[in-house]
Amino acid sequence: MSVTTPVLLPTGTWEIDQSHSSVEFSVRHLMVSKVKGSFSTFSGTVTVPENPLESVVRASVDVTSVHTGDAQRDAHLRTGDFFEAEKHPTMDFVSTAIRATDDGYVLAGQLSLHGITRDIELDLEFNGAGPGMDGGNRAGFTATGEINRRDYGITIDMPLANGGAVVGDKIKVALEIELAQTAA
């Protein structure tokens, strides 16, 4: 197998189209199921130079916009037990590298959450590019990965009597991102 040819997006600045994108997560609950959630407020840019593998991705997520389908749980997630949103209202990502792989790309970067910054890697899939309804350029990507909440100082323990915990440590993240080119 050969390594994927770099995606040739036009150079310039691209912005996340929030109305056509999503930032979602899932976490193990009671050791028997997974709870899914999303964030409704986020933004970001991708700056594409001549070599697209040198692109810079910057994104910010408003953690107060968390939504899991349960208002009480969402309120708890905003507290000091989890996001501590009053003190740390955003989760921020800045890329450090993009690497082509046999079946896509890896987006490496630094994720800042709960006042702690750690290196992460996301599997990145290019979904295509073309003209949008407004005539401007559009591009789509899917990014997936996993973080450990404890790496970000979110260490709440709610052990179960039969072993395990109410909330798992591993958080799966899934992003569906549509970009709109803003400048050439």
For the beta carbon of residue 71, count every other beta carbon within 10 angstroms.
9
Residue 3 lies in a domain: no
Which positions ≥6 away from 106 have C-beta within 8 Å?
97, 98, 99, 121, 122, 123, 124
| Number of domains composing the chain | 1
Residue 125 placed within a domain = yes
> Tokens at residue 63, please?
């953690």
Residue numbers of the domain that contains 23: 12-183
Q: Return the pLDDT at 131.
A: 86
**pTM score, two decimals?**
0.90
Cβ count near 152 (within 10 Å): 21
Domain contains 6: no
- Give every residue of the chain whose pLDDT is below 70, as ranges: 1-8, 31, 159-161, 163-165, 183-184
Q: What is the pLDDT of residue 163?
A: 67
CATH number at residue 44: 2.40.128.110
pLDDT given for residue 2 in this prediction:
45
Structure tokens at 115: 């006042």
